[in-house]
Copies of this chain bind each other. A is one copy, B any other.
Amino acid sequence: MTETLQAKALTFRPLYLQVKESLVRRLINGSWQPGQLIPSEMELARELGVSQGTVRKALDTMTAENLLIRRQGRGTFVAEPEEGRLLFQFFRLVQDNGGRSFPSSRILRSGPEKANRQEMETLGLVRDATVWRIERIRMFGKEPLLVETITLPAARFPGFDTIEEIPNNVYRLYSQRWGITIGAASEKLKATGADLRDARHLGCRPGMPLLHISRVAFDLEQNPVELRVSRCLTEKTHYRSELR
């Protein structure tokens, strides 16, 4: 770290941010795997040639971003994509009765396609780029909850078409198979009426009000890597948003 000391007053970057980036790089390039115990503050401080306090500040900001989990007396661990509570970090649909179970999935279609205009724009693709497009229904027990379309840039997910069975938890798959960690997402919500396809899949009448959620998910480097459009029944379920 000492050799990267900045020129004074120009392009000042705090040391702890440089440390943080160096550590995030280890997450990105996979040298630190999800669930793994990382070295202690003292070890990292020695290794990087900075004080323990500076390492701590870097680790604290990463913890605040849900990249790490710190446990007093045990150590600092790489957060697992969608484990435990984190499972619900990106899943905001809650049953009205308070239950927060996780819906199962049934794949409708899956395969390579040409990106449409919306996909090109949100995922930053060139014209006619290939994407993997997955359509599935998600349900609580036997009750259909939503139908969704997931779009992935084929270039970032090579060999996706060779996956034998697409799991319910795809973020975990992205991490395990391609080392892609979803760090943030941005959702746009609208109310819309069910079209004929929605109605068929969800077992409702056409025109039924649906919650339309379009999500762009970003990797640790802030690149958009997934577009997901969900159309959701909200008779027994709602979307929960906490404003802080």
Interface residue ranges, A against B (CB under 8 Å): 65-66, 89-90, 92, 94, 184-193, 207, 209-212, 215, 232, 234, 238-244
Contact = CB atoms under 8 A, between A and B. Distances in A.
Contact of A209 (B89, B185, B209): B209
8 contacts: A90-B243, A186-B240, A187-B242, A188-B239, A190-B238, A191-B211, A211-B211, A215-B243
A184 B244 contact: yes
Contact of A241 (B187, B191, B210): B187
A244 B89 CA distance: 7
Copy tally for this chain in the complex stands at: 2
User: Chain A: interface secondary structure?
Assistant: strand
Nearest to A193: B209
A238 B185 CA distance: 16
B238 A186 contact: no
A238 B90 contact: no
A179 B232 CA distance: 40
A222 to B, nearest CB: 12
Contact of A239 (B190, B215, B232, B234): B190
Given A65-B244, A244-B66, A209 B186 contact: no
B191 A209 contact: yes
B243 A186 contact: yes
B189 A189 contact: yes
Contacts of A186: 240-243
A234 B241 CA distance: 17
10 cross-chain pairs, A with B, having the tightest CB-CB distances, nearest first: A209-B209, A190-B234, A191-B209, A189-B239, A191-B191, A185-B243, A191-B211, A187-B241, A188-B238, A191-B234
A65 B64 CA distance: 13
Contacts of A187: 240-243
Most buried by B among A210, A215, A240, A244: A244
A94 B189 CA distance: 10
Contacts of A65: 244
Contact of A92 (B90, B185, B209, B243): B243
